Chains A and B, each alone.
Chain A
Amino acid sequence: MADIVASSAAARASGRTSLHKVMQRKSTIAFLMALPLILMIFILVAYPAGYAIWLSMLNKSMTKFVGFGNFDFLFKRATFWEIVLQSCIFAITAVIFKAIIGFVVAHFVNNIPTKGQRKWRGMLLVPWVIPAAMSTLSWLWLFDPSYSAFNWIFVHLGLPKISWLGEAGWARFSVILVNVWIGAPFFLIMYLAALKSVPEQLYEAASIDGATWWQRIWFVTLPMMRNIIAITILFSTIVTFANFDIVRVLTAGGPLTATHVFATWAFKVGIESGDIPLGATVSLFMVPILAVAATFILRDISKRGSEV
């Protein structure tokens, strides 16, 4: 009897010890600390995503499982392929311009003496910090058919008025412009951080070797910033493809369907027109493409990381 009591007490003690050990592990503590975030991601991201996938496999009245029937239906619609094309034009053009502007401005800011740099950094971040819907409303007033400030200036300069949001080409230009205006500061701040981490000795060595300004950029700056550039472009591409607020506020997809992107078209079809499964299908269309792109980019980054 005494043996049994002793062995069970030992087992309890060893159990406590192993639990204690597990709890002492850094990975366990890290997991527990991250648990609220994991739960939040599950509730706010994983569950809605799963539900959207489920919805995309139902018929219009949501009474029957149709598998990939909605995707099959979309692929046969000319309007859908217009949206695909526009989304690609919108996202790719905007990301390219954001990256270029961010890169150039980051260099300018980096060359400002440290004392005055904070002011510039703060001011240049403003478009990114203001809620996009609010700043887009301001842009809407600038482009407004009746009160356009740009057109007012044009008229006073003797130039013809531009139908900013009424012509397909100008409307596409306008939504891309606003997206670049809002998104470029993100690139700027990321590139600025990357620039500051490039060792000054590398530039000194390049100068001693007689490298030109362009050679310093091409052979020193860009290779050192490659990972940051890749990650920034990846994040921005995903966010820009999923953009809703700018297009919704500025053009609502018009004129005709010239500025619709996936999110605004999904809203139009799913919520406004009452075809929720089709709306879910539209919104999910880019997921596999972006997931493959993300996998390649992240793999490349981790490969370079291990090389370093």
Chain B
Amino acid sequence: MVSRKVSRRRFMANTAALSAVGVAAPFVRGAYAAGKLSVGFWDHWVPNANGATEKLIKEWGEKEKVDVQIDFITSQGNKLLLTTAAEGQAKSGHDILAQNTFLPARNAELLVPMNDVMDQLIKDNGKVNATVEYLGKVGGKWLGVPATVGSQIKGPCSRIDLLKKHAGIDIQAMYPAGEAPKADNWTFDTFLKAAEACHKGGNPFGIGLGTTSDNVDTIGAVFHAFGAVMVNEKGDIVIKNDQVRQALDFYKKLMAFLPPDVAAWDDASNNKFLVSGQASMIMNPPSAWAVAKRDAPQVAEQCWTHGFPAGPKGRYAPFLPFFWCTWNFSKNQSAAKSLLLYLSQSSSAEKMVAASGGYDLPSFEKLTTFKTWAEEGPPKGTLYHYPNPHNHQILSVAAAPAPHKIAEQIYNQGIQTQMAVRYFKGEPLEKTLDWASGEIEGFMRN
């Protein structure tokens, strides 16, 4: 656990050489003498979770004499996405704005490099995973600081009782609380057999195949586990390969055991399916479990969040980070960096994780063992494996390693889930691959 505190002054001293154009100019003391800062953060769905962030920001503002204006912007109805697009177009808006997944790369030319902040944070908090680096660092430039708030792993959340009853799997023994996973047998074969058994038992897995994030994230991890690449890092379309065919074959088998309308599922569908008591497993961060705690406690006390099954090329899980980014038209960039440094310290991250009931996930490797995850329940320890504390799985994002502008479109238009549905509905595999290839070709335009 990291305990070293980084004061704003020390950070300024360390980065003075890099910030020759006044970025690191010292503030003048006095009531709000260091100017104003406007912050647009993701509005947390967990009640009172915003409070921890707000408190930390206020503490920092008082200490640094900065007048901070905080807006919590909901992602409901794409409000945050629209705000980001509008601010980017207008070249005006918040000094710091939360941007998720591919948005920092989309706005790369409008964002202030955060290399100085990230160098310091990596030194203090440990490395970030390769997915954070892929999404947040373009051409050697860090586009934002990976945010604790809103970042998540979308791993399996299983019903302990139903998996045991229908598939004979003791998921708690496989992923014991407080211990390293004993999940060598937790492979795609086991997973398929369990899916079939649970389907037969009347409690199918609730894995969506719509075009929204939850659905795309799951299939993305499966593709990675098969080594199925559609577009390589150079931007070449390489979709017609055996790994992609294997991944689609796997999904075809899996879909036979899923509810019939999964092609129309959105990000709420799997949550509702779990809370309704029908699902024996969904792929989701602990939000569904938290809703069940409130609305269906008998379901919640049987939920266990754990790792993905392993495929032929490894065990991958989807990781969706938010980034705190600063626009290059921000008037107070030095204060923005100082605040981001403060919010990313271990003690701050721990407060945010606690306030979110374990939902929020820091991206730094030394910040995945807070006591919140070990203690949350019922059942106690249900979230222990959520932050991947034993690096048991490789954290990934769908469509990687394609160049961002292509990957973003593959991701947002759900090309992988669409392929799976087309193939499942009887379209010949090669025709599906041709269709996807044509779509991706369209994403190549500049």
Contacts and interface: CB of A to CB of B under 8 A. Distances in A.
B418 A256 contact: yes
B412 A272 contact: yes
B353 to A, nearest CB: 29
A163 B211 contact: no
B263 A273 contact: no
A252 B260 CA distance: 18
A94 interface: no
Contact of A251 (B78, B264, B438): B264
B405 interface: yes
Interface residues of A, number: 32
Q: Which of A253, A255, A269 has the most CB of B within 10 A?
A: A255
A178 interface: no
B413 interface: yes
Contacts of B85: 271, 276
Nearest to B445: A60
The 7 closest A-B pairs by CB, nearest first: A166-B261, A255-B263, A165-B264, A163-B261, A166-B264, A273-B412, A274-B106
A145 interface: yes
Nearest to B269: A145
Interface string A163-189: 111110001000000000000000000
Given A146-B278, A251-B264, 14 more contacts: A60-B445, A145-B259, A145-B265, A146-B272, A163-B260, A163-B261, A165-B261, A166-B262, A252-B266, A271-B81, A273-B408, A273-B409, A274-B106, A276-B85
Majority SS at the chain A contact face: loop
A59 B81 CA distance: 21
12 contacts: A78-B438, A147-B272, A166-B261, A166-B262, A252-B210, A252-B266, A254-B210, A255-B263, A271-B78, A274-B106, A274-B409, A274-B412
Nearest to A161: B260
Contact of B413 (A78, A146, A273): A273
Contacts of A166: 260-264
Interface in B68-88: 78, 81-82, 85
Interface of B: 78, 81-82, 85, 89, 102, 106, 210-212, 259-266, 269, 272-273, 276, 278, 405, 408-409, 412-413, 418, 421-422, 435, 438-439, 442, 445-446
Contact of A254 (B78, B263, B273, B278): B263
Contact of A272 (B78, B262, B269, B422): B78
Q: Which of A59, A77, A79, A146 has the most CB of B within 10 A?
A: A146
B426 to A, nearest CB: 13
A268 B413 contact: yes
B210 A255 contact: yes
